[in-house]
């Protein structure tokens, strides 16, 4: 997956592109980047146009001051999709990116063909204690001490030594490590906290789509989760599956919070089979209006 960039609203946006065919828009999680999709992107590119952007404040995308809400991230995806000449896409969102994907489907239903939620946020209040602690006032100063360049250089040295003697880190650990390294940059740290506090508070996740999941009944939806997810409980997947009529649920055993990194072959196969066996939605504002009007008062 080749790394490209475009300028949008005066800001650089990094993105990875590969393949041809129906469009898969892959949305990474918090403190991550489009690089997280490289293992599965190379497997999916034989059948799809794979489009993986860096969200605002992440990867190679600019870190402007301002709005880092789900809606702002979803609007960036909409603008990128149109600038690149794509009319619709299947949205695949991991963790925080799952919340962005759901927001995108809610704001721009006419652009969304399918929805794939991977260890997604926005489906319940429970979330790992560390993320809740980072929502506390003053957490920025604590994290700054733990994200010094000298510490990350030492960490890279240990990882490289471990690889050479056959004890390389797991795919999940590598992805967490990339996120940790990204936070050594002060602007990236600021963007991280703006993003985090838009969706997480000290008492858990602040934003929930649970009261609107019934609106996804007309949208083919796949839910993928790791059975051992330590960040967001797998029970969120089961509840969402029960709430979204016609959705599919795939729980990967012996996998944690990063199914696309920990089991890329199975993940790519699961997504490919889901797309091949479902018809893309052709939703409109009129259909959404009808759904909203049909909700119980």
203 is catalytic: no
State the catalytic residue, choosing from 32, 229, 236, 241: 229
Q: Give 279's DSSP letter.
A: P
Check 236, 241, 257, 260 and give the catalytic one.
257
276 burial class (0-12, 13-18, 19+ CB within 10 angstroms)? Answer: exposed
Strands (E), 105-247: 112-118, 200-201, 204-205, 221-226
Catalytic residue, candidates 95, 120, 188, 194: 95
Q: Examine the residue annotation and report whether 257 is marked as an active-site residue of this protein.
A: yes
SS3 153: helix
Residue 247 falls in the annotated catalytic set:
no
Residue 49 pairs with which residues in a beta bridge?
A: 23
Please name which of 120, 109, 125, 8 lies closest in space to residue 55, comparing C-alpha atoms: 8
CA distance 93 to 39: 15
Non-local (6+) Cβ contacts of 203 within 8 A are: 125, 132
Residue 214, C-beta contacts closer than 8 angstroms, at least 6 positions apart: 243, 244, 245, 291, 295
Dist CA 49 CA 90 (whole Å): 10
For every residue of 34-75, DSSP letters joined together read: GGGGHHHHHHHTTTSEEEEEPPTTSTTS---SS--SHHHHHH
Residues recognised as catalytic: 95, 229, 257
């Amino acid at each position: 997956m080749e790394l490209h960039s475009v300028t949008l609203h005066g800001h650089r946006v990094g993105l990875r592109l590969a393949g041809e065919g129906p469009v898969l828009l892959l949305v990474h999680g918090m403190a991550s980047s489009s690089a997280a999709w490289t293992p599965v992107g190379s497997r999916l590119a034989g059948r799809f146009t794979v489009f993986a952007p860096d969200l605002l404040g992440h990867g190679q995308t600019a870190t402007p001051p301002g709005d880092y809400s789900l809606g702002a991230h979803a609007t960036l995806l909409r603008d990128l999709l149109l600038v690149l000449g794509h009319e619709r896409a299947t949205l695949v969102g991991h963790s925080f990116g799952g919340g962005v994907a759901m927001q995108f489907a809610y704001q721009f239903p006419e652009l969304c063909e399918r929805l794939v939620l991977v260890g997604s946020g926005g489906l319940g209040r429970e979330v790992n204690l560390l993320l809740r602690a980072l929502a506390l006032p003053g957490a920025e100063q604590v994290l700054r001490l733990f994200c010094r360049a000298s510490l990350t250089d030492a960490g890279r040295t240990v990882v490289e030594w471990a690889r050479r003697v056959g004890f390389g880190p797991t795919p999940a650990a590598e992805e967490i490590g990339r996120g940790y390294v990204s936070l050594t940059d002060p602007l990236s740290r600021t963007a991280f906290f703006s993003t985090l506090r838009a969706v997480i508070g000290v008492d858990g996740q602040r934003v929930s789509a649970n009261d609107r999941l019934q609106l996804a009944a007309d949208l083919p939806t796949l839910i993928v989760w790791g059975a051992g997810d330590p960040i967001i409980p797998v029970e969120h997947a089961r509840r969402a599956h029960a709430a979204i009529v016609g959705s599919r649920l795939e729980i990967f055993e012996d996998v944690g919070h990063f199914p696309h990194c920990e089991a890329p072959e199975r993940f790519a196969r699961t997504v490919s089979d889901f797309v091949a066996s479902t018809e893309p939605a052709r939703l409109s504002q009129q259909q959404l209006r009808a759904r909203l009007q049909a909700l119980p008062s």
